[in-house]
């Protein structure tokens, strides 16, 4: 590839052909301010509509200023990123954006995390010279996501995630000129759309135009109600990211501190969704083996591959987009919902508390879990199995609110019986983890032999679609993995057209799996954060003494005392579900 010589701010720089001015400047340590641009390195995700015009720079000999995020370098270019002309334009453009933005930073959900706020600070804006009419849109609240469109800056990141990465196609630009804004078609509400609530729009929104529905107030009310027993479950991906909210480096595992903080917050029992993940493997693994052996015995009615069903956004996605295939995914409920069902039916008996007096809170890396917990089928006479699902970010705000010095907290352990988990449960948090956990159990059950090595490296990684073949003692088990709904769509279309030959497929909606979930601390476009969380997850797994779900003693006890055996009638009733054709349905 040809190398290009150019000068940026009087410094010579040599970069590869095809590099943008923004990237070339970064190579010599010059950070040109940006707003709409976002690049998740290694994930193939990039948003660069060249729309905000904040990153404009002066290029000698060019008639107008150049947006550095989309302008490619040319031989001999002489660029000034901070000429008076460029600075004045950058500032004026930012003032224009601010002039159509509510100035409610003091109470804004995104304050401190807002990229527009940061930009205004960076440019030292103390006054907006061009004031005028501000956009007035109604707020749109759904079960999981709130759209406050007045705060939309038309960066189009959400649109890119929703269309290009997730292929859901709910969010796109509507209207023209000053009224242009990103919204569902005809500016309908999100809950009247095919939105999966994956929350990837929330994860990338630079402002508070898209945020999760806040349930912290409800959790505080429950905690302060003496008549309620409040228990909490924490999803695997949360412990690998929560530290970031307290200025800890990404990839720090804060499991013990998190438990300690939850105890200080006043939860009566601190349990682990990882326990329910082990339970999921028992059910889903058994279902896989059942379907597999029937299939191998020539039963034509049995459909393969079996698809995982832990991810609520993925479930809603196929209910809308592939309802003809709704018999293929596993009927196993997600770990969150298995936990809720066990808590409200088994644990209530254990501690002798009435169902309506037990409040189940879950801490999730996800905004779709809010929607999942509110699905009708997961409630008994109006009382939901999981009362409130809050995100990693919401938990952090609760901890800050309670004045807890997170970093100096002691490490504490989960409570029993629903707090014990294996390494298999932990890796649910990363793409490929669910299927690896299932393989660990299914292999031993199917072959009757013990695994020599529980690490299946071939199932791990960041590529959007991965495939691997595992030798099940002579049977080649073909496994597919997809993360990101766009990648899932490709695998599903292959199944629909008969091209797929997988036995089992794991699908997660969010890039990276739950560690990259819409409820996690904001990555602000730094994909290395997600990679570090992944490393932390596998580290936690490696450190566990028990690493196979079927060896979790409390799981075995649960079957012995309560459920009988995997796929038993009771298990079927409490731990499995059915899916709905939502192709022609408008949700409400």
Partner 1 sequence: MADYKMHIMVCGGSGCRASESDKLTQNLDTALQKNGLEEDVQVVTTGCFGFCEKGPVVKILPDNTFYTQVTPEDAEKIVEEHIIKGRQIKHLLYEDPNAKELIPDSKHMDFYKKQVRLALRNCGFINPENIDEYIARDGYAAIGKCLSEMTPEAVIEEIKESGLRGRGGGGFPTGLKWDITRKSEADQKYVVCNADEGDPGAFMDRSILEGDPHTIIEAMAICGYCIGADKGLVYIRAEYPLAIERLKIALDQAREYGLLGEDILGTGFNFDIELKYGAGAFVCGEETALIHSMEGLRGEPTFKPPFPSVSGYNEKPTNVNNVETFANIPVIINKGAGFFSQIGTGSSKGTKVFALAGKINNVGLIEVPMGTTLREVIFDIGGGIKDGKKFKAVQTGGPSGGCLTEAHLDTPIDFDNLIKVGSMMGSGGMIVMDEDDCMVAVAKFYLEFTLDESCGKCSPCRVGNKRLYEILDKITQGKGTKEDLDKLRLLGNVVKDTSLCGLGQTSPNPILSTLDNFYDEYLAHVEDSKCVAGQCKALMQYKIIPDACSGCTLCFRNCPVGAISGERKSPHFIDQSICIKCGVCYEKCKFDAIEIV
Catalytic residue list: 284, 287, 310, 330, 369, 372, 377, 514
Residue 133 or 452: the one with the smaller Cβ distance to partner 1 is 133
Interacting span for partner 1 (CB under 8 A) from 92-100, 191-199, 387-395, 498-506: 92-100
Q: Is 2 a residue that touches partner 1 (CB under 8 A)?
A: no
Q: DSSP code of 392?
A: H
Exposed e or buried b per residue across 538-569, where buried means at least 16 C-beta atoms within 10 angstroms of its C-beta: bebbeebebbbbbbbeebeebbeebbeebbbe
Q: How far is the CB of 458 from partner 1 (least distance, A)?
A: 35
CA distances from 31 to 18, 22, 57, 90, 110 (A): 19, 8, 12, 14, 23
Q: DSSP code of 54?
A: T
Q: How far is the CB of 139 from partner 1 (least distance, A)?
A: 20
Find the binder of partner 1 among 7, 9, 46, 50 (CB under 8 A).
Answer: 50
Find the binder of partner 1 among 83, 172, 216, 345 (CB under 8 A).
Answer: 172
CA separation for the pair 559, 566 (Å, rounded)? 8
**CB-count exposure of residue 131 (10 Å: 0-12, 13-18, 19+):** exposed
Tell me the torsion sign for CA atoms 282, 287, 292, 297.
Answer: positive
Interacting span for partner 1 (CB under 8 A) from 50-58, 248-256, 310-318, 497-505: 50-58
Find the binder of partner 1 among 65, 223, 505, 571 (CB under 8 A).
Answer: 65
CA separation for the pair 387, 340 (Å, rounded)? 9
Find the binder of partner 1 among 3, 41, 122, 130 (CB under 8 A).
Answer: 130
Q: How far is the CB of 165 from partner 1 (least distance, A)?
A: 17
Q: How far is the CB of 175 from partner 1 (least distance, A)?
A: 7
Q: How far is the CB of 191 from partner 1 (least distance, A)?
A: 24
Interacting span for partner 1 (CB under 8 A) from 69-77, 224-232, 451-459, 538-546: 69-77
Find the binder of partner 1 among 133, 301, 327, 405 (CB under 8 A).
Answer: 133
Residues 137-156 that bind partner 1 (CB under 8 A): 153-154
Nearest Cα to Cα of residue 28 among 11, 49, 5, 47: 11
Exposed e or buried b per residue across 169-192, where buried means at least 16 C-beta atoms within 10 angstroms of its C-beta: bbbeeeeeeeeebbbbeeeebbbb
Find the binder of partner 1 among 21, 22, 56, 307 (CB under 8 A).
Answer: 56
Q: Is 184 a residue that touches partner 1 (CB under 8 A)?
A: no
Q: Is 67 a residue that touches partner 1 (CB under 8 A)?
A: yes
3-state helix, strand, coil in the chain (%, to 5): 40, 15, 45
Nearest Cα to Cα of residue 202 among 80, 23, 347, 369: 369
DSSP annotation string for 385-406: SS-EEEEHHHHHHHHHHTT--G
Find the binder of partner 1 among 52, 222, 270, 368 (CB under 8 A).
Answer: 52
Q: How far is the CB of 131 from partner 1 (least distance, A)?
A: 8
Q: DSSP code of 341?
A: H
Nearest Cα to Cα of residue 464 among 511, 517, 424, 425: 511
CA separation for the pair 369, 366 (Å, rounded)? 6
Residue 72 or 263: the one with the smaller Cβ distance to partner 1 is 72
Residue 29 or 177: the one with the smaller Cβ distance to partner 1 is 177
The two beta strands, 306-307 and 38-40, are unpaired
582-479-556 Cα angle (round to 5): 85
What does the block give as tokens for 2? Answer: 């040809």
CA separation for the pair 174, 182 (Å, rounded)? 6
**CB-count exposure of residue 535 (10 Å: 0-12, 13-18, 19+):** middle
In terms of phi and psi (left: phi > 0; alpha: psi -120 to 50; beta: otherwise), the region of 524 is left
Residue 176 or 453: the one with the smaller Cβ distance to partner 1 is 176
Q: Is 51 a residue that touches partner 1 (CB under 8 A)?
A: yes
CA separation for the pair 479, 492 (Å, rounded)? 14
Find the binder of partner 1 among 22, 93, 235, 409 (CB under 8 A).
Answer: 93
Interacting span for partner 1 (CB under 8 A) from 1-9, 51-59, 512-520, 533-541: 51-59
Q: How far is the CB of 181 from partner 1 (least distance, A)?
A: 8
CA separation for the pair 45, 151 (Å, rounded)? 23
Residue 35 or 289: the one with the smaller Cβ distance to partner 1 is 35
Residue 99 or 397: the one with the smaller Cβ distance to partner 1 is 99
Interacting span for partner 1 (CB under 8 A) from 66-74, 400-408, 537-545, 578-586: 66-74
Q: Is 103 a residue that touches partner 1 (CB under 8 A)?
A: no
What does the block give as tokens for 497? Answer: 């057209």
Residue 68 or 252: the one with the smaller Cβ distance to partner 1 is 68
Number of residues that make up the chain: 588
Q: Is 88 a residue that touches partner 1 (CB under 8 A)?
A: yes
Find the binder of partner 1 among 7, 9, 44, 70 (CB under 8 A).
Answer: 70
Q: How far is the CB of 52 from partner 1 (least distance, A)?
A: 5
Close Cβ partners of 471 (under 8 Å, ≥ 6 residues apart): 477
CA separation for the pair 26, 11 (Å, rounded)? 12
Residues 421-460 that bind partner 1 (CB under 8 A): none
Q: How far is the CB of 72 from partner 1 (least distance, A)?
A: 7
Find the binder of partner 1 among 7, 80, 83, 92 (CB under 8 A).
Answer: 92
Q: Where are the beta strands (DSSP E) in 278-422?
A: 306-307, 358-364, 379-380, 383-384, 388-391
Interacting span for partner 1 (CB under 8 A) from 173-181, 206-214, 274-282, 454-462: 173-181
Interacting span for partner 1 (CB under 8 A) from 170-178, 225-233, 363-371, 431-439: 170-178
Residue 72 or 294: the one with the smaller Cβ distance to partner 1 is 72
Q: How far is the CB of 35 from partner 1 (least distance, A)?
A: 8
Find the binder of partner 1 among 12, 112, 132, 382 (CB under 8 A).
Answer: 132
Q: Is 96 a residue that touches partner 1 (CB under 8 A)?
A: yes
Count of residues that interact with partner 1, criterion CB under 8 A:
38
Enumerate binding residues for partner 1 (CB under 8 A): 49-54, 56, 64-65, 67, 70-72, 85, 88-89, 92-93, 96-97, 99-100, 129-133, 153-154, 172-173, 175-181
């Amino acid at each position: 590839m040809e190398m290009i010589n150019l000068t940026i701010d009087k410094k010579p720089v040599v970069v590869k052909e095809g590099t943008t001015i923004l990237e070339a400047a970064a190579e010599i340590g010059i950070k040109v301010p940006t707003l709409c641009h976002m690049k998740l390195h290694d994930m193939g995700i990039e948003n660069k509509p060249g729309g905000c015009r904040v990153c404009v720079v002066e290029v000698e000999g060019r008639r107008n200023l150049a947006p550095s995020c989309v302008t490619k370098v040319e031989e001999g270019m002489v660029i000034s990123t901070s000429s008076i002309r460029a600075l004045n334009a950058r500032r004026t453009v930012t003032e224009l954006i601010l002039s159509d933005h509510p100035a409610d930073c003091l109470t804004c959900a995104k304050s401190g995390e807002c990229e527009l706020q940061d930009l205004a600070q960076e440019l030292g804006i103390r006054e907006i010279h061009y004031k005028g009419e501000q956009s007035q849109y109604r707020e749109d609240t759904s079960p999981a996501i709130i759209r406050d469109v007045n705060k939309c800056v038309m960066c189009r990141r959400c649109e890119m995630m929703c269309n290009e990465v997730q292929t859901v196609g709910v969010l796109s630009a509507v209207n023209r000129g000053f009224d242009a804004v990103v919204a569902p078609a005809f500016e309908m509400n999100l809950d009247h759309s095919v939105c999966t609530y994956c929350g990837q729009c929330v994860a990338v929104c630079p402002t508070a135009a898209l945020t999760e529905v806040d349930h912290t107030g409800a959790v505080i009310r429950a905690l302060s109600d003496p008549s309620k027993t409040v228990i909490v479950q924490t999803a695997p991906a949360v412990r690998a990211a929560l530290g970031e909210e307290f200025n800890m480096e990404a990839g720090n595992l804060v499991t013990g501190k998190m438990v300690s903080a939850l105890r200080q917050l006043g939860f009566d029992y601190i349990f682990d969704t990882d326990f329910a993940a082990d339970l999921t493997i028992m059910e889903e693994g058994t279902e896989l083996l059942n379907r597999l052996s029937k299939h191998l015995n020539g039963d034509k009615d049995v459909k393969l591959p079996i698809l995982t069903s832990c991810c609520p956004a993925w479930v809603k996605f196929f209910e809308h987009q592939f309802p003809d295939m709704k018999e293929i995914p596993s009927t196993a409920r997600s770990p969150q919902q298995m936990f809720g069902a066990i808590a409200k039916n088994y644990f209530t008996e254990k501690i002798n508390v009435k169902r309506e007096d037990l409040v189940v809170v879950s801490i999730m890396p996800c905004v779709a879990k809010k929607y999942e917990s509110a699905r009708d089928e997961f409630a008994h006479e109006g009382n939901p199995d999981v009362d409130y699902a809050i995100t990693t970010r919401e938990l952090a705000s609760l901890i800050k609110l309670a004045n807890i010095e997170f970093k100096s907290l002691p490490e504490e352990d989960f409570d029993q019986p629903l707090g014990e988990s294996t390494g298999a449960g932990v890796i649910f948090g990363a793409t490929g983890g669910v299927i690896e956990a299932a393989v660990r159990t299914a292999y031993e059950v199917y072959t009757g032999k013990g695994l020599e090595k529980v690490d299946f490296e071939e199932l791990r990684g960041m590529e959007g679609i991965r495939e691997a073949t595992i030798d099940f003692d002579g049977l080649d088990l073909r496994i597919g993995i997809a993360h990101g709904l766009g990648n899932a769509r490709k695998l599903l279309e292959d199944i629909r057209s008969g091209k797929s030959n997988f036995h089992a497929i794991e699908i997660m909606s969010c890039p990276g799996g739950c560690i990259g979930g819409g409820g996690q601390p904001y990555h602000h476009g730094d994909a290395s954060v997600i990679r570090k969380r992944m490393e932390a997850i596998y580290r936690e797994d490696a450190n566990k003494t028990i690493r196979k779900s079927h060896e979790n003693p409390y799981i075995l006890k649960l079957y012995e005392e309560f459920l009988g055996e995997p796929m038993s009638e009771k298990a079927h009733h409490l731990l499995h579900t059915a899916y709905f054709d939502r192709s022609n349905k408008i949700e409400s």
